[in-house]
Structure 1
Amino acid sequence: MTHKRDKRLLAVDGGGTKTLLWVGDGEGRILAKIQGESTNLKSRPWSDVAGELARLVLEGLESSGSTAEQVDAAVLGLAGSDRLEDKSRVVAHMSSMLPESVISVHNDAITALAAGTFGEQGMVLISGTGSICCGFDPAAGTYVRAGGWGYVFGDEGSGFALGAAALRAVVRAFDGRAAGTSLTDKVLAKLELSKPEQLVTAIYEAPYMRAKVASLAPAVFEAAREGDGQGRAIVKEAVRELAELVAAAYARFSPERRRMPLVLSGGVFSDALFLKEFSNRSDIQSLPLDIRVLNVPPVTGSYYMAVRQAGLRLTSDMIRRIQLQCKTEGECNHDTFS
């Protein structure tokens, strides 16, 4: 019988900006943490995503001193992976590298929720590079979602939406179509530019355009805190859009209005003003939700799910050990717009 310490579990969280992979044992000891580029299935070609996943797996196994045959379970939370055809090709790709492993693929919102509820039912609102709200009850198999439609016709209230609104404010002011705004200086400084005319090349020729635009969200927060009218208006609109996602998802997930946790995840919620504006909205406060800001990396949820997928019990000691390793290494939920 294989001892828990000899078992290997693999956890992945892939967002619009970066991907994190953990390799750990059956007692909650994280043996390797590897970071890579985005593995969002809807913003990068499949060949790029497959190559990045392969690199992360091989590096994680090598760094942890593990073999592929030791991996009992692998859980991947990937942005853009709701559809069966996407899950199937990821599972097939991972199975070719981890032949003895039970592999499952979920939308990254589900694994973020698991990080905040330890795999129990609840709701999660992600506002990182993109945005989505989901409700999930693993016992009943119930899953609902609102948002998550991508940056072309969705991702309201996300880092990308905030950044795009800031860019619009800057160019409108430059054209003389709107009043001046402190966002001009802040956005140009963030992008290391000297004048608005340089924005077209800086944004449209960026290798990861969505991440580049989302990286401007902190400039919006700073402008709003300083009382800039454009900055405050952008924040208020983003908060309104996110509250709308929550209300829509909750109405479908719990028509009987059960009390449950709402886990907030993603870099946008790292701003205290934004978090306060969202939490204090009357339409949010009227819902029977216990708001929890995720204070561990979302990949933690993938790890919790991998523990159970391997047939192991997720104990309170294991949870404490995993969370302590996050805190010891200074990790949290908000290091980038993921």
Structure 2
Amino acid sequence: MIVGVDVGGTKTHIRSSSGVDVVLPSTGWSALDGASWLLERLPAGVTALAVGAHGAEDRAQCAALRDALAAALDVPVTVVNDGELLLPAAGLRSGVAVVVGTGSIALHDDGSGGVHRAGGWGWILGDDGSASALVRDAARAVLTADDQGQPPSQLADVLTQSFGVATILDLAYALGSDTETWGRHCPAVMSAFAAGCPLAESVVTGGASSLGTLVATFSARGLAFDDVVLGGGLVTAVPAYWALIQSAVSAAVPSARVRLLTAPPVAGALSLAHSLARSAR
């Protein structure tokens, strides 16, 4: 049984060559010690395994997780960052993959094993354009407007409702006390954006622009690419946001072919697992 796994920040998708197709919450996942977590969830009879792992930020972390899984299963295993699943899921060997979900990261793959990253530093420090970062930036915009004596905006109203608090001060406390759940409140930001709230429009447009800037960093570093593939729960769930991102990336890198991944990223993991099985044979 050839198995591909996409471990994301919110959910984990497991798919096999024999028809297993399961989506589970990623609760309790940590790339630093993820082997036992995965082994509890994998189907029996695995013969080759490819994992795209959220939080596996460098080759050493990927190798450590790979070795632990391979030792436990005694089968060929490969582990990559979950963002590296987008290109094979799109049928590509090289290009730039951008994940826009709970967090965000961009990865440049030259098709020969050379992978470079940009972003993906966590939403407190970065991950601009992601669900969590949009909530962070929306809260900052609401707090700044309050400092300036402006009346509460629709964005302020939906955020306080989403967090279950009554005041702007309470909103600041709520954000500071639980940074892990910010992304869950992104639908509130998007609802204000869809309703035409100027403050929400500024936040969402700024998030899209930051992703265009992120992709352009690869060009500035002299890394060539033709294709840019975007995926992740947020960009696929909100067409209006995807349109803004597509425009921003195209403006930042006019020569690039920008596309939205329509297949689930786990398809890329299964493709890598099939390649691994062929190599092993």
- State if a TM-score over 0.5 links the two structures: yes
String of CA shifts for 1:25-74, please: whole Å, max 9, x gaps: 3xxx4224241325353xxxx45x344223212xxx2xxxx33xxx2211
Q: Give the corresponding residue for 2:97.
A: 124
- Give the one of 303, 306, 312 matched to 2:270: 303
SS in 1 for 2:56: coil
String of CA shifts for 1:226-264, please: whole Å, max 9, x gaps: 221210110121111100011112444644xx5x32111
Alpha-carbon distance in 1 for matches of 2:211, 2:183: 16
Q: Give the corresponding residue for 1:290.
A: 257
* Closer, same or farther: CA 306–253 of 1 in aligned 2, 3 Å: farther
Identity of aligned residues (%): 26
SS in 2 for 1:132: strand
- Cα offset, 1:121, TM superposition: 1.6
Alpha-carbon distance in 2 for matches of 1:32, 1:72: 16
How many residues align? The count is 277
Residue 9 of structure 2 corresponds to residue 16 of structure 1 = yes
Q: Give the corresponding residue for 1:33.
A: 22
SS in 2 for 1:311: helix
Give unmatched runs, 5+ long, in structure 1: 1-7, 313-338
Alpha-carbon distance in 1 for matches of 2:207, 2:143: 19
Alpha-carbon distance in 2 for matches of 1:193, 1:134: 38
Alignment-mate amino acid for residue 11 of structure 2: K
The more displaced of 270-279 and 300-309 is 270-279
Give unmatched runs, 5+ long, in structure 2: none
Q: Give the corresponding residue for 2:107.
A: 134
Q: Is the 8 A contact 1:10 1:75 kept in 2?
A: yes
SS in 2 for 1:216: helix
SS in 2 for 1:56: coil
- Give the one of 193, 199, 216 matched to 1:224: 193
Alpha-carbon distance in 2 for matches of 1:89, 1:300: 23
Q: Give the corresponding residue for 1:53.
A: 38
Alpha-carbon distance in 1 for matches of 2:106, 2:121: 11
- Cα offset, 1:265, TM superposition: 0.7
Q: Give the corresponding residue for 2:230.
A: 264
Q: What does 1:318-329 correspond to in 2, within 5 Å? A: none
Q: Give the corresponding residue for 1:247.
A: 216
Alignment-mate amino acid for residue 12 of structure 1: V
Alpha-carbon distance in 2 for matches of 1:54, 1:282: 38
Q: Give the corresponding residue for 2:78.
A: 104
* Closer, same or farther: CA 200–55 of 1 in aligned 2, 3 Å: farther
Residue 145 of structure 2 corresponds to residue 156 of structure 1 = no
Q: What does 1:275-286 correspond to in 2, within 5 Å? A: 275-281=242-248, 284=251, 286=253
Q: CA RMSD in A?
A: 2.5
* Closer, same or farther: CA 162–93 of 1 in aligned 2, 3 Å: same
Alpha-carbon distance in 1 for matches of 2:186, 2:259: 22
Q: Give the corresponding residue for 2:50.
A: 75
Alpha-carbon distance in 2 for matches of 1:119, 1:283: 19
* Closer, same or farther: CA 122–40 of 1 in aligned 2, 3 Å: farther
Alignment-mate amino acid for residue 135 of structure 1: H
SS in 2 for 1:120: coil
Residue 67 of structure 2 corresponds to residue 84 of structure 1 = no
- Cα offset, 1:164, TM superposition: 0.6
String of CA shifts for 1:309-334, please: whole Å, max 9, x gaps: 1108xxxxxxxxxxxxxxxxxxxxxx
Alignment-mate amino acid for residue 254 of structure 2: L
* Closer, same or farther: CA 309–238 of 1 in aligned 2, 3 Å: same
Q: Is the 8 A contact 2:6 2:266 kept in 1?
A: yes
* Closer, same or farther: CA 40–232 of 1 in aligned 2, 3 Å: farther
Alpha-carbon distance in 2 for matches of 1:80, 1:9: 23
- Cα offset, 1:88, TM superposition: 2.7
Alpha-carbon distance in 2 for matches of 1:161, 1:178: 23
- Cα offset, 1:283, TM superposition: 5.2
* Closer, same or farther: CA 40–239 of 1 in aligned 2, 3 Å: farther
The more displaced of 183-192 and 120-129 is 183-192
